[in-house]
Every structure is written in structure tokens, then in C-alpha cells.
């Protein structure tokens, strides 16, 4: 009970000591997380997942590929942009405003210089009957990449509905899943970003 001898000051000192130790522990844990996030892949502690969908040339007529698709959103004015290529490559085009997406005014980098260096925007797709399957990489804290699997049903050559989406682990384990039932609409554009990349073989 030494703290009580200082008429409250000792208690305050004890409290500060505990607080300093707790703060130091937080700093150490945070540093460890940041270290693992930046070095996990480089240190060989994890590896990027392989895509389960094999890239194959797409010659079908179920979906148009001379433009992009934008995914409806009930919670935001920003919509996801999706590109499909005849060589079987999928590109996540990021987010644009709904107005720009509807009017074909999305920002397009024809050379696609930045995306060519970014693995997680790339993936592959396949169409079997009227079922569309997409898989692309997603980054995780360790610096390695897991995959996001998307399944949809084609309504016509300009519309499909995303019925299922799941984040997959390297062992095929499903980390989370959802059934958004979001509609994707087509918008034709004169020229798309280049699909050449070093990730989808």
C-alpha cells in the first residue's frame, strides 16, 4: 500500500506507470503488425494465391466486351467499373460516379500504366451458359494476395446480376460471402485500357 502514503499522489504515479506500460505495449504490437504487413511476403511468410479460374479466350456472344460494366449501388453514388476482354482477362476499374458511368465519362488510361503495376486489379473470367464467373486478387495485411470470387447470371448481352461474392483463403476456405444481387449495366466506349499485364497468364 505504498501508494497511499503520498495522499493520492502515489496512486496517480502508479496509474501513470500502468498507463505508460500499456501504451508501450500498444506501440510494440502496432510495430509488429506493420512489420509483418510490409515484410510478410518478402520474408517468405506467405505467398500469393493462384487463380482457380484459368484464363481462356472468350469468343462468345453472351456479353459485350466493347466497353465497361458498372455495378448498381443502393448505398453510394459511386459505382464499381468492370472490364472484360476477349483474351479472358478481367480488370477492376475502380469506382466512378454513377452519372459519369452512365454517360461514358469515366477516366480511362488507354496505356493502363498504373494498373499494369497493380496485381489486385487483375483477374480472369469465364462464361458457361448464362453463368458468369470472375476471380481476381485482393491484398491482405501481410502483403500477399488472396482472391475474390464473383458469380453472376447473365440477363442479356448488356446486363448481368451479381448473385454471389466470396473472399477465399489459400486452402479454399471461404472467409466471408455475400449475395448482393446487384445489377451491372453495359456502356460502350471507343477504346478500353490495355489488358496486357504480367499477372494473369
According to DSSP H, which parts of 40-153 are helical? 98-102
Q: Which residue has the cell 472468350?
A: 58
Q: Picking from 107-111, 149-153, 170-174, 180-184, which range would have the lowest pLDDT averaged per residue? A: 170-174
pLDDT digits (tens, 9 = 90+) for 118-162: 999 999 999 999 999 999 999 876 678 999 999 999 999 999 999
Taking 70 as the threshold, does the pLDDT of residue 167 lie above it?
Answer: yes
Percentage of the residues of the chain whose pLDDT score is greater than 70: 76
Q: Look over the chain and give the mean of its residue pLDDT values, rounded to a whole number.
A: 82
User: What dihedral do alpha carbons 59, 60, 64, 68 form, nearest 10°?
Assistant: -60
Model's pTM, two decimal places? 0.77
pLDDT digits (tens, 9 = 90+) for 27-47: 443 444 444 444 445 545 678
pLDDT of residue 169: 82
pLDDT of residue 142: 61
The pLDDT-based confidence of 16 (bands split at 50, 70, 90) is very low
Contact 116, 200 (CB under 8 A): no
Taking 80 as the threshold, does the pLDDT of residue 22 lie above it?
Answer: no
| More confident: 100 or 21 | 100
Cell, residue 25: 505495449
Q: Which residues, in sequence order, are CB contacts of 12 under 8 Å at separation 6+?
A: none
What is the torsional sign of CA 115, 154, 86, 147? positive
Amino acid at each position: 500500500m505504498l501508494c497511499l502514503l503520498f495522499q493520492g499522489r502515489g496512486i496517480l504515479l502508479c496509474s501513470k506507470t500502468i498507463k505508460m506500460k500499456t501504451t508501450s505495449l500498444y506501440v510494440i504490437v502496432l510495430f509488429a503488425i506493420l512489420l509483418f504487413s510490409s515484410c510478410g511476403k518478402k520474408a517468405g511468410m506467405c505467398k500469393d494465391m493462384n487463380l482457380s479460374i484459368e484464363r481462356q479466350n472468350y469468343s462468345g456472344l453472351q456479353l459485350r466486351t466493347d466497353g465497361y460494366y458498372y455495378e448498381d449501388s443502393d448505398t453510394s453514388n459511386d459505382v464499381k467499373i468492370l472490364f472484360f476482354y476477349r483474351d479472358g482477362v478481367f480488370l477492376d476499374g475502380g469506382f466512378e460516379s454513377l452519372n459519369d458511368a452512365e454517360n461514358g465519362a469515366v477516366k480511362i488510361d488507354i496505356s493502363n500504366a498504373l494498373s499494369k503495376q497493380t496485381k489486385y486489379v487483375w483477374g480472369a473470367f469465364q462464361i458457361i451458359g448464362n453463368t458468369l464467373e470472375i476471380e481476381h486478387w485482393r491484398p491482405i495485411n501481410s502483403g500477399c494476395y488472396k482472391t475474390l470470387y464473383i458469380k453472376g447470371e447473365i440477363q442479356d448481352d448488356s446486363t448481368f446480376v451479381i448473385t454471389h461474392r466470396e473472399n477465399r483463403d489459400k486452402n479454399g476456405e471461404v472467409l466471408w460471402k455475400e449475395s448482393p444481387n446487384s445489377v451491372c449495366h453495359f456502356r460502350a466506349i471507343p477504346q478500353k485500357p490495355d489488358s496486357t499485364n504480367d499477372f494473369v497468364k
